[in-house]
Amino acid sequence: MAEMIDFGPLQLKFLESRDTTGGSIDLFEMTLAPNARMPIPHYHESWDETIYGLSGVSTWRVDGKDIDLAPGETAFIKRGIVHGFTNRSNGPATCLCLLSPGALGPQYFKEMAALMAGGAPDPAKMKETMLRYGLVPVAG
């Protein structure tokens, strides 16, 4: 059964994880509310990410270039490439995210959601959590 994780403006529906695939992949559906964004540009040390647009349009900043991802379109983010995302539209945008190999599982997102639950999260705690899971924040 899929696991739901709510970040407020971001909702994740975990479909497969490193735990269910023997480390092969993480696969989740992400829905971005209007104006939702990844507040910290970052890169991954040890996995690649493929994004597939399902509905709405999300904007991915990958290696300094903006990519508008509409339904049926894909973006590939090689490990080591700085990226982030936003939903600049007035409606929700949903995409499917595939991490290969599986590196995070739902636990990373649960920890980040807990940090964000109390309002303004502590940037130092967010950075520490990101680094512990292999996401490297980059000053944007």
User: What pLDDT is attached to residue 38?
Assistant: 79
Instruction: Please check the confidence at residue 8 and state whether its pLDDT lies above 90.
Output: no
Q: How do residues 12-40 score in pLDDT, each as one tens digit?
A: 999 999 999 999 999 999 999 999 887 78
More confident residue, 117 or 5: 5
Q: Give domain limits for the chain.
A: 3-135
Which distant-in-sequence residues (6+ apart) come within 8 Å of 20 by Cβ?
none
CA–CA separation, 73 and 52 (whole Å): 6
Percentage of the residues of the chain whose pLDDT score is greater than 90: 79
Whole-prediction pTM: 0.92
The overall longest dimension of the chain from CA atoms, in Å, is 39
Q: Which helix (H) or strand (E) holds 83?
A: strand 83-86
CA–CA separation, 28 and 126 (whole Å): 21
3-135 CATH: 2.60.120.10
How much is the mean pLDDT over the chain? 93
Measure CA 15 to chain center. Answer: 14
Positive/negative CA dihedral, 70, 71, 73, 76: positive
